[in-house]
Amino acid sequence: MALIKREQVAGMNIHYMRYSLEYFLDAQVAAGIQSIEFWTGVPHYYLDPMTYSDCKVLKDKIQSRGLEVRVFTPENCMYQYQFAATKPEIFEKSFQYFSNGIKATAELGCEIMQCNSGWGYYDEDREEAWKRSREMLSKLADVAQKEGVTLAMEALRPEESNLVINVSGAKRMFDEINHPNLKILVDTTAMGVAGETLQDWFDVFGEDIIHTHFVDGNPYGHLIWGDGHHNLEEFLTVLQKNGYTGLLGQEITDSRYFQDPKSHDIRNMHAFKAFM
């Protein structure tokens, strides 16, 4: 039963952090993946508040293999830059870092850059961190508008953030920012941990959902399909029912996949093929 198109499945390079960029790209071709959500980890790309790697070089390497980069995802969990940074100097450096990410997104010909709410200290007033996150995302949405880019905001798990961690938090932030260049990304792991469903998110956001991190889980873990307990066919049916035509980003982060990521991507695509 055809529920998606092949080009909707977007391979990511997070679980290739111990391999070269070229190996990752060749592995996507071998797996039959056509679209890329590009993660900017230093092994494959350099991005900081002052500079970023040559996008033409990256784009040429991607396109020469018949691939297309569709979403740009600046690293924002393992490194020091985040959307609700507390110290003023780090807040400003984070703003410049993500602004450069937006510029790189545009130079690559992408329309979407991933973002989230960031996080605040547990020993501060949560509302103060919320204000910083809202200010950062509002300013970045203005930059994105100038560059012809749309930000796609995802929820995080409670272990990662005390700000946007569920559909209601995403709705509050989305409404408070109220900017045409800020839309929604559904992460199925954060969704599952929150005890929510895909339909819950579509009921709230509808067409404002422009991207997904669409992975299996228990509900924790960003897993290859078949390694968790989510029902792939049911999830894809919900997407189709709601008219979703965006990407299914394969944000695979569990360390079990780091040693031989290519074989797991091939296995992952095999799960999707029955629905293409």
Q: What is the DSSP string of the chain?
A: ---S-GGGEEEESGGGTTS-HHHHHHHHHHHT--EEEEE--TTT--B-SS-B--HHHHHHHHHTTT-EEEEEE---SSSS--TT-SSHHHHHHHHHHHHHHHHHHHHTT-SEEEEE-----TTS-HHHHHHHHHHHHHHHHHHHHHHT-EEEEE---TTT-SSS-SHHHHHHHHHHH--TTEEEEEEHHHHHHTT--HHHHHHHHGGGEEEEE--B-SSSS-B-TTSSS--HHHHHHHHHHTT--SEEEE----GGGSSSHHHHHHHHHHHHHTT-
| Residue 76 forms part of a structural domain | yes
Model confidence pLDDT, tens digit, residues 206-245: 999 999 999 999 999 999 999 999 999 999 999 999 999 9
Q: How many domains does the chain have?
A: 1
| Residue 1 forms part of a structural domain | no
Residue 138 pLDDT exceeds 90: yes
Residue 86 is part of which domain span? 6-273
pLDDT at 80: 87
Is 0.85 topped by the overall pTM?
Answer: yes
Mean pLDDT of 13-20: 98
The domain that holds 215 is classified in CATH as 3.20.20.150
Q: Percent of the chain, pLDDT > 70?
A: 100
Mean pLDDT of 47-54: 98
| Residue 187 forms part of a structural domain | yes
| Residue 124 forms part of a structural domain | yes
Top pLDDT among 79 and 115 is at 115
pLDDT at 263: 98
Model confidence pLDDT, tens digit, residues 62-89: 999 999 999 999 999 877 899 999 999 9
Model confidence pLDDT, tens digit, residues 158-192: 999 999 999 999 999 999 999 999 999 999 999 99
pLDDT at 39: 98
Instruction: Give the mean pLDDT of the chain.
Output: 97
pLDDT at 77: 81
Residue 260 pLDDT exceeds 80: yes
Residue 1 pLDDT exceeds 80: no
